[in-house]
Amino acid sequence: MPTLLLAMLTWTTWGRAGLIRPAHAAALTGLLPRLAEKGGAELTELAVVSSRVHTVLRFGPQCDLARLVLYMKSGSALLLNRLIAGQGTVRWAEGYDLLSTDLTSLPRLRRYLDDQGRHYGVPLLVRWSLVKVAEELGQSGVVSREEESAVVSRRWPSAASGRS
C-alpha cells in the first residue's frame, strides 16, 4: 500500500523580524522544492511573508524528519545568504512547527496559506502550489487512487511493495 503522509512545516525568522525580502522569497520558490526532495519529501504548498515560511510537505516512506528540517531551514538560509548578497542576511529562529494533515484538509489549509499576508498584516511575498503548477501544465491536479499508486511506486518503490 502506498505511503501518504502530509504535514505543514512552519518556521520563523530570528526574532520574527521582517528579514525575508522579495528576492529571498522568489529564491525560496526554487530552493525549497529541491531541498525537500533531497530530504525525502515533496513540497506541495508554500507561502512566504517577511517573517515566516509555511510549507506543506508530502513525505516519502523513508524520510528522515530531522534531516529534512535541517535541509529546509539551514540549507535555505545558507544558500539564500550566498546567492542574494546585499539585501540583508536571512537568519531563522530556533525550532519549527510541524502539524500532520490529510488530503481532506488540504482545501482549508490552502485557504489558510492564501490568507497569510492579511493575517500578519504584511504582503504575501510568495504563494506557490504544486496543484497550480499541475493545472498550468494542463493536468487536473486531482488523481485517482490508481494514478496516485502508480506515481508513488515510481517515486518511492519501497512504498508500493510495502517495504520500509
Tell me the pLDDT tens digit for each residue of 98-116: 999 988 888 999 999 999 9
Grid cell of 62 as nine digits: 523513508
Looking at residue 47, its pLDDT comes to 97
DSSP state of 70: H
Query: Among candidates 65, 110, 88, 91, which has minimal Cα distance to 11?
Result: 91
Sorted by where each begins, the domain ranges of the chain are 5-161
**CATH numeric code, 5-161:** 3.30.70.1290
Least-confidence region, from 72-76, 109-113, 134-138, 152-156: 152-156
How many residues comprise the chain?
164
pLDDT tens digits, residue range 24-76?
999 999 999 999 999 999 999 999 999 999 999 999 888 899 999 999 999 99
